[in-house]
Structure 1
Amino acid sequence: MIVEINVPTPGESITEVELATWMVSDGDIVEKDQEIAEIESDKATLSLLATEAGKIKILVEGGETVAVGAVACSVDTDFAGEASVSKVNTEETVEPEKSVKPDDKVAAKADVKPEKSNDYPNAKVSPLAQKKMDDLNLDVNQVIDGLKRISTKEVDLVKELPAESEASTGGTSAFISNSASRDAERQKMTSLRKKLSQRLVAVKNETAMLTTFNEVDMSAVMQLRKKYQAKFIDKHGVKLGFMSFFIKAASLALKHHPMVNAMIDGEEIVMPEYHDVSVAVQTPKGLMVPVIRNVETLSLDGIESGLKGLAEKARKGKIGLEDMTGGTFTVTNGGVFGSMLSTPIINPPQSAIMGMHNIVERPVAVNGQVEIRPIMYLALSYDHRIIDGKDSVGFLVKVKEMIEDPAKLLAGGFDPEQAVLGL
């Protein structure tokens, strides 16, 4: 029986997607619920699963744009049993091979496949490439002779060869390293990248975006983290990083300046009482902003657990549409890439984004004396249409106060001593 597999919908208002990569080849035997392809939309990446086991027939080439609901491939369920049979046969043929003599092994291989010539004995082939060559019945000669041209990628690979390779090639790599290249590679933009570029341009054109800055002395947080890191890991099973302090401080600061958490909807201003904080994550597919929900209810360990879960999804490329919708405020950390200062761009429909940067030891004045302290520059980009300077500047000052005196995180951003006195 032939079963058709349709392109799923990534979300509302999306009518077409890009079938990015096939993870199987045409004619392969697949199992039920096996991941067979990756689909990219302008909002998220999702997996295409085999609904039934059997032999697959690919109907849409990788890299093509297709309509949601279109038939991507079909599965012939009459071949469903072959997947398990082939596995059993493979397992059965592995063990008896131990008792075969080396001479017999060579003879057996010779009977199955004639030895292929190789005019490039020094060519190195990776195990994965060798497997693909065997599947396609190609040898090294055919692969090298079939190359259309040598690009800068291959030149750079030769240039970086170790010294012994240079000796064997008679100094060829030294000669190549002095040559200039005018090559240029072209790469098709993914749907996610195209949508991201459109949104960034729209933000600049449709908002009155301004950025305000402040600096934060990280001494207290760094000492606290160093002192209790081991106990924190033992109790909560996650490491204590800097992001959780800033996300928690931002949530508390949003209570003092709720307009920073607001957004424009038509002719109305929406002010959520909850804090769903989006965290900018750089992935191979582009910038994504998954959300940690209800940060106002989370402690530092809860935030760290949320960050860990998002990081794992990002590494596996499993961040979905449901992970990125509904944020009210964004935090981005360019410091991990070495950024000293930046003006982060607003993530619509939100109205503000806080940017963290690298920590550098700088001379600062402390009680009339010059001291060297670990300093981070903070930035807050905001939509001036609904957020005034008082709220934007006050928000960063409140975050600064809580980072420099972490005890204020327990007092809701207030001075603990004044809280005790009821002031």
Structure 2
Amino acid sequence: MTTEIKAPTFPESVQDGTIVTWHKQVGEAVSRDELLVEVETDKVVLEVVAPADGTVAEIIKGEGDVVESNEVLGKISEGAVAAPAAEPSSAPAATSSSVAAEDIKAAPAARKLAQEKGLDLASITGTGKGGLITKADVQAFDAAPAAAPSAPAPAPSAPSAKAPTPAVSAPVEVAAGERVEKRVPMTRLRARIAERLLDATQSTAMLTTFNEVNMAPVMALRSKYKDQFEKHHNGTRLGFMGFFVKAAVEALRRFPAVNASIDGKDIVYHGYQDVGVAVSTEKGLVVPVLRNAENLGLADIESGIRDFGLRARDGKLGIEEMTGGTFTITNGGVFGSLLSTPILNPPQSAILGMHKIQERPMAVNGEVKVLPMMYLALSYDHRIIDGKDAVQFLVAIKDLLEDPARILLEI
């Protein structure tokens, strides 16, 4: 019995995806729910798991192919798991190495290249997800000087005699003064990010206003209650982002235009606050959304953000979690940014930029005091938000953070 391996069901906002990696080859045994394929869309990398136990019978769509929603990627022969066991009787001398190769996690392209070059996969260190050996790992290993002795006997001189590989080996061993370039295609996620950012700068009347906030009150409150907070909320830590989300929600209530968006010639005012929180990953920036943030407490916000960060790192965020949003907060301060002008996340009309907390001398009641200060930046679409509203919105956030009791009292 043959079962089809199908691409995930993409939402309306995603047209298609690209196959990034096949984790199994034809003839390899698979277990139900085992990871088979990774499909990259404009927003996230989706995992396709085995629909049943069996053996990969056919791969219809290879790495790099563009696929549509629910398109057939390959087929599994259910119950046909005994095929690999027949190899030992036909090739006794190669039994140990071939069986070991089957157990090694390697991309199909990497296996093929290793076979062509006569390389032992067991000697190659994988840099891919979960230790997966990629094609680049094989190329780098083949180019390294130490690769020659570890190559199998049939082709001992092959690694050192290969002339076409210096383009890949250059980053490993570069002569003094050599000018090296490496060209790699953009991932779909990176290309989509570039497209959206360019669109935001060209299709909106974007402007940025700045202010600064004294973080001492929030830091004192956090320092006083962080242990009790963590204990009471089952390990959820009290960070700064929760205060900013709460302050933003209150400010959005006061200035609904900042929470609105433009749809054609209409202005859409949202009666809810879905706050996106920008998260940096190895593949690029993603913005998961805290739905109905106006109904969330500090603990709910902090645990939600932490969950987003962990799953973004592991590529586990769903497309639906990054769709929508009425306002975005981005924190460049975690990377040391002191000041920036964040770019809008269309169709949203505003984005708040947090920055590094830096001690600075400030004039307080005629005296100079050293205070932990943070610059705030609000980028907004001037077509829908007037400068007055933008400035007052940012001042409201500043006032709420400098006197956190205002957040509780909503004043």
**TM-score normalised by L of structure 1:** 0.78
Query: Equivalents in 2 of 1:146, 1:25: separation in Å?
Result: 29
* SS in structure 2 of the partner of residue 154 of structure 1: coil
- Is the CA contact (8 Å cut-off) linking 1:17 and 1:67 kept in structure 2? yes
- Is the CA contact (8 Å cut-off) linking 1:329 and 1:353 kept in structure 2? yes
Is residue 2:152 matched to residue 1:139? yes
Aligned-partner residue type, residue 217 of structure 1: N
Alpha-carbon distance, 1:26 to partner: 3.0
1:76-125 CA distance string (max 9 Å, x none): 11315789x99xxxxxxxxxxxxxxxxxxxxx9999679xxxxxxxxx95
Query: Equivalents in 1 of 2:306, 2:132: separation in Å?
Result: 36
Distance 1:4 1:109, change over 3 A: closer
Is residue 2:246 matched to residue 1:228? no
Runs of 4+ in structure 1 off by over 4 angstroms are 80-83, 108-114, 124-133, 140-143
- Is the CA contact (8 Å cut-off) linking 1:10 and 1:44 kept in structure 2? no
Which residue in 2 is equivalent to 1:293?
Answer: 291
Structure 1: give runs of 5+ residues left out of the alignment: 87-107, 115-123, 157-175, 415-423
Superposed counterparts of 1:159-308, under 5 Å: 179-236=176-233, 237-308=235-306
* SS in structure 2 of the partner of residue 153 of structure 1: coil
- Among 366, 370, 378, which residue is 2:368 paired with? 370
Which residue in 1 is equivalent to 2:378?
Answer: 380
Is residue 2:155 matched to residue 1:154? no
* SS in structure 2 of the partner of residue 370 of structure 1: strand
Distance 1:326 1:368, change over 3 A: same
Query: Equivalents in 2 of 1:79, 1:265: separation in Å?
Result: 54
Is residue 2:71 matched to residue 1:70? yes
Query: Equivalents in 1 of 2:226, 2:31: separation in Å?
Result: 45
Query: Equivalents in 1 of 2:16, 2:28: separation in Å?
Result: 26
Query: Equivalents in 1 of 2:339, 2:274: separation in Å?
Result: 25
Is residue 2:409 matched to residue 1:411? yes
Distance 1:21 1:284, change over 3 A: same
* SS in structure 2 of the partner of residue 38 of structure 1: strand
Alpha-carbon distance, 1:34 to partner: 1.4
Query: Equivalents in 2 of 1:181, 1:205: separation in Å?
Result: 39
Which residue in 2 is equivalent to 1:93?
Answer: none
- Is the CA contact (8 Å cut-off) linking 1:276 and 1:292 kept in structure 2? yes
Which residue in 2 is equivalent to 1:165?
Answer: none
* SS in structure 1 of the partner of residue 24 of structure 2: coil
* SS in structure 2 of the partner of residue 402 of structure 1: helix
* SS in structure 1 of the partner of residue 171 of structure 2: helix
Distance 1:13 1:110, change over 3 A: closer
Alpha-carbon distance, 1:265 to partner: 1.4
Query: Equivalents in 2 of 1:308, 1:278: separation in Å?
Result: 13
Taking only aligned residues, the RMSD between alpha carbons, in angstroms, comes to 2.8
Which residue in 1 is equivalent to 2:350?
Answer: 352
1:274-331 CA distance string (max 9 Å, x none): 1100011111121110001111111111100111110111111011111011200000
Alpha-carbon distance, 1:13 to partner: 4.9
* SS in structure 1 of the partner of residue 405 of structure 2: helix
- Is the CA contact (8 Å cut-off) linking 2:44 and 2:315 kept in structure 1? no
- Is the CA contact (8 Å cut-off) linking 1:3 and 1:75 kept in structure 2? yes
- Is the CA contact (8 Å cut-off) linking 1:152 and 1:181 kept in structure 2? no
Aligned-partner residue type, residue 145 of structure 1: S
